[in-house]
Amino acid sequence: MKFSFGNKNDVEQSITISIPADDIQKQVKTKLNTAQRSAKIKGFRKGKAPIDVVKKMYEPEIRQDVINDAVIKKFYELVEEKNFKPVGRPNLVPERIEMEKDIIFKATFEVYPEISLGNLSRLSYTKAVSSVAEEDVNKTIENIRKRMCAWEPKGGNSSSGDQIKIDFVGKIDEEEFEGGSAKDFVVEIGSKSMIEGFEDGLIGLKKSDNKDLNLTFPEDYGKTELASKKVVFNVEVKEVLKPKLPALNEEFFKSTGLEAKNTNEFKKEIKNKLDEDLKNILENKSKSSILDSLREAHTFEVPSAMIESEVNNMRQNAARRVGMDPKDMNEDLFPKETFIEEAKKRVSVGVILNKIIEEKGIKADGERVRKMVEDRASMYKEPQQVVNWFYSNEEQLRSIESISLEEQVIEILLSEANAVEEELTYEECVTGHN
């Protein structure tokens, strides 16, 4: 067997594999003899057909199977011998397959990246600093009231914040298009649930009004066949509704799932909830910042097979979030290209974190893992049964341990890196804009 590698730091490698013709022929002969004993061939009793007849019927298929198995076996023997970690499946291309001659294949494959860690203590990250103000609490309460409001008919013209029931027909180049029309469609003006200009065009209308909206679909519209197209929507107003906010009383407090007896208690519980949410947001911002810094400090090529695998995971998770079985997902719904850049970042960070875990000899914290398992189990009716299931399922437990290890590494990085504080309002933290 002959082989040649590129630089060990290269992600893509290739091997030329040569398998002696005698080895192939011996295995083919053995399998033909086995096939002869069980072959059912017309005109012969089972297992009694002459070997020449069996060869004529089965040798091509058997020979191909023998070659495939031999090449794959040699490939993995070699990469193990050379201490490579292949990712994905190798691309095997035959260079010579002739009777009575050595079989030659070229295998091209990707390997797990070999990286060297930089000085982790020189990393810096942005540490967001924020707090929940009374204004944030009041705004949150108003948003809750709006979400739980009743809707009643409005006599006058529509304005931002109103609901408006409409019939509409959309046309492109004076032709109706699929999904461009609806009846008794309800939209809240200002919700930004429609394309730009649609909701603004409904302001000032009253029941029975009719209006044409001349708009343009955005460049990044989900249905690519409509992107950037000019469209005219003819709108007929069926009804205008205004919100009626619920009163701040005990009945309202209970409807939110809180046990407050008065407004002050309700505000206190809302603030506690916002404080907890903000704590998680700030931790995630620090985590995101330190991981960005870590990734930027290490430059290396990422195997396309690992990126593709992560893209597939992200697409499947996106499908599950909208209640869809990933098996029913088509290519257009969650285009792969929209996930590629984020997938590259995730894979890069994963490689670096694994290297840190390896070099520092970090082990999963048993107590942390136990708490994570118990937190997940607490969402079920029989928590202890779920805990037992996790600890009896090696794959699931490894998954939790992996999450724990990542958290442990990030805590180490944050403790050693230079923190640059940035003051943000609560709203800036929540919306991600500053």
Domain with 394 in it: what CATH number?
1.10.3120
Rounded to an integer, the average pLDDT of 320-346 is 86
Mark whether 159 and 92 lie in a shared domain: no
Between 56 and 152, the more confident residue is 152
The pLDDT assigned to 38 comes to 85
* pLDDT-derived band at 4, boundaries 50, 70, 90: low
| Digit-coded pLDDT (tens) for 168-189 | 999 999 999 999 999 999 999 9
| Digit-coded pLDDT (tens) for 203-257 | 999 999 999 999 999 998 988 899 999 999 999 999 999 999 999 999 999 999 9
CB 108 within 8 A of CB 325: no
Q: What is the mean pLDDT of the chain?
A: 92
Between 3 and 307, the more confident residue is 307
* Partner residues linked to 213 by β-bridges: 233
Q: Is residue 199 part of a domain?
A: yes
Helices then strands, counting H and E runs in the chain, come out as 11, 10
The pLDDT assigned to 7 comes to 55
Mark whether 291 and 344 lie in a shared domain: yes
Print the domain residue range for 27: 12-111
Mark whether 284 and 369 lie in a shared domain: yes
* Partner residues linked to 308 by β-bridges: none
Which of 48-57, 265-274, 326-335 shows the highest mean pLDDT?
265-274
Mark whether 337 and 392 lie in a shared domain: yes
CB 170 within 8 A of CB 232: yes
Q: Is residue 337 part of a domain?
A: yes
Mark whether 58 and 162 lie in a shared domain: no
Query: Is the per-residue pLDDT at 1 higher than 50?
Result: no
Mark whether 415 and 270 lie in a shared domain: yes
Instruction: Please tell me whether residue 344 adopts helix, strand or coil conformation.
Output: helix
Q: Is residue 129 part of a domain?
A: no
Rounded to an integer, the average pLDDT of 31-35 is 88
CB 134 within 8 A of CB 428: no
Mark whether 288 and 352 lie in a shared domain: yes
Mark whether 54 and 179 lie in a shared domain: no
Mark whether 207 and 346 lie in a shared domain: no
Rounded to an integer, the average pLDDT of 74-99 is 90
Mark whether 425 and 277 lie in a shared domain: yes
17: which residues sit within 8 A by CB, 6+ positions away?
A: 1, 2, 3, 71, 74, 75, 78, 104, 105, 106, 107
Rounded to an integer, the average pLDDT of 409-417 is 95
* pLDDT-derived band at 100, boundaries 50, 70, 90: confident
